[in-house]
Structure 1
Amino acid sequence: MKVDIPVDKYPTFNFVGRILGPRGNSLKRVEANTDCRVLIRGRGSIKDPAREEMMRGKPGYEHLNEPLHILVEAELPVEIIDARLMQAREILEDLLKPVVCH
């Protein structure tokens, strides 16, 4: 399942940092609570822009030609997989709401 990241709407917001959390703990917590695998993919998903440019077009890195997004995967029994994927989507969508400070 693919979850879009609203980079166009909030170009200065650090979505990758928000999803990962301190030392990757936010992402790990989503994975632990839902038994899903969460992958950050697309342009901007690799921290080093020079390395990202070098990897673009190579096998396995086709996602770098797409906008920044989250890929949620799971190998779970058919009776619970949809609920777990939706649970992961809800948590991630909450994380993707930029916090506006006044």
Structure 2
Amino acid sequence: MKLLLLFIIGMYSAHCALTDAEITQQWNDFKVKFNKKYADDAEEQMRKQLFTTNLQKIEEHNKKYERGEVTYTQGINQFADLTDEELKPYSHGVLRPKQN
């Protein structure tokens, strides 16, 4: 499992426009802004990975906005460290736009 996670992180890093330092800064800002606390280091690392993946999706989407390919921007909110399954109770049946 750890090897798979390291592979995913490595693949992500190769395509990420943000540096590790920028991601860490945004992660720390996110935790402060939304008063995020985690049970242990393992959970925090898992949540940081979810946050990083979501941050990358947001960055890619906002680049599409800058090119005029979509009509709205996205940003980090209090849900940026949750899985899709964990988000379901908050969606109130609203379907999110499909992302390519």
Give TM class, smaller chain. Answer: 0.3 to 0.5
Question: What is the TM-score of this pair, normalised by structure 2?
Answer: 0.33
Question: What is the TM-score of this pair, normalised by structure 1?
Answer: 0.32
